[in-house]
Amino acid sequence: MAEFSLHSELAANCVPVATWSLSELLLCNDANYPWLVLVPAQPGLRDFHDLPPDDMVSVGREISRASQALVELFAPDKVNVAALGNVVPQLHIHVVARFTRDLAWPSPVWGFAPPKAYASDVLDARIADLRLAFG
Amino acid sequence: MAEFSLHSELAANCVPVATWSLSELLLCNDANYPWLVLVPAQPGLRDFHDLPPDDMVSVGREISRASQALVELFAPDKVNVAALGNVVPQLHIHVVARFTRDLAWPSPVWGFAPPKAYASDVLDARIADLRLAFG
């Protein structure tokens, strides 16, 4: 049976933050927006509807947990949740804190501006803050 | 207690297709893409994580039902699922059939090209096909 492995583009563009019951929780290395990515750690998933019903319940819970941590830490104006996968086919769910003052507002973030990598101390602090907010 | 009413922009840009247990199911009046919109019919919802846990289970089921109908009818290359709401704040979930040959591919559809209204006979046929696919 095939094993799950993280798609190379997600591994290159994101940093691991936590391993949850269903998903690997990543932080996108783009300081333009507080941007989390959930990757259900099951092999062969492409679209949201590929998730078995039980995992769909889990993913809903994990999306909420990720969103609520962003709300607690950043008080965004909106949280964008999306499973697109037009570029990286492995199922992954974006959870992005959006602000009316952010670079792309009100456009979606994908493809809007080149990613701006975090300074390494800022990245470490952000990961620590997120882990604390997840509890 | 406040009652649910569909946001005026969703009412203007979409046509009603079905009333499901949680959501109003709409078809976006944009012939560029087969594009469904689920609107959980509860007042006051903005973000995905505003859904109570039971409704989150329902919405997962309804997203799958919408996606699978699109797959059955159109055999898309990908199904994009997203709750954005940067423009229309009422919680609504896009379920869009995407093709590597479509206008916006691989970009997201939002804001890419002006919507192209369906001819009325095509719209009627599409709604009928969708209702049949939903079973």
A57 touches chain B (CB under 8 A): yes
Query: What is the C-alpha radius of gyration for chain B, rounded to an integer number of angstroms?
Result: 14
- Test A107 with B86 for CB contact under 8 angstroms: yes
**CATH code of residue B46:** 3.30.428.10
Cα–Cα dist A54/B91, whole Å = 23
Report which secondary-structure segment, H or E, holds B131: helix B120-134
Pairing of strands B14-19, B23-28: antiparallel
**pLDDT band with cut points at 50, 70 and 90 for residue B39:** very high
- Test B80 with A57 for CB contact under 8 angstroms: no
- Test B56 with A60 for CB contact under 8 angstroms: yes
In a domain, B117, yes or no: yes
Mean pLDDT across the stretch B75-94?
A: 97
In a domain, A128, yes or no: no
When CB atoms are compared, the residue of B63, B67, B111 closest to A107 is B111
A67 touches chain B (CB under 8 A): yes
Chain segment B72-82, per-residue pLDDT in tens: 999 999 999 99
Cα–Cα dist B42/B27, whole Å = 19
ipTM over 0.90: yes
Chain segment A72-113, per-residue pLDDT in tens: 999 999 999 999 999 999 999 999 999 999 999 999 999 999
In a domain, A1, yes or no: no
In a domain, B116, yes or no: yes
Find the closest chain B residue to A88 by CA distance.
B106
In a domain, B2, yes or no: no
In a domain, B3, yes or no: no
Q: Specify the pTM.
A: 0.97
In a domain, A132, yes or no: no
Domain tally, chain A = 1
- Alpha-carbon distance B69 to nearest alpha carbon in chain A (angstroms): 11
The boundaries of the domain holding residue A67 are: 8-121
pLDDT at B1: 62
Report which secondary-structure segment, H or E, holds B95: strand B93-98
DSSP bridge partners of A95: A36, A81
pLDDT at B135: 85
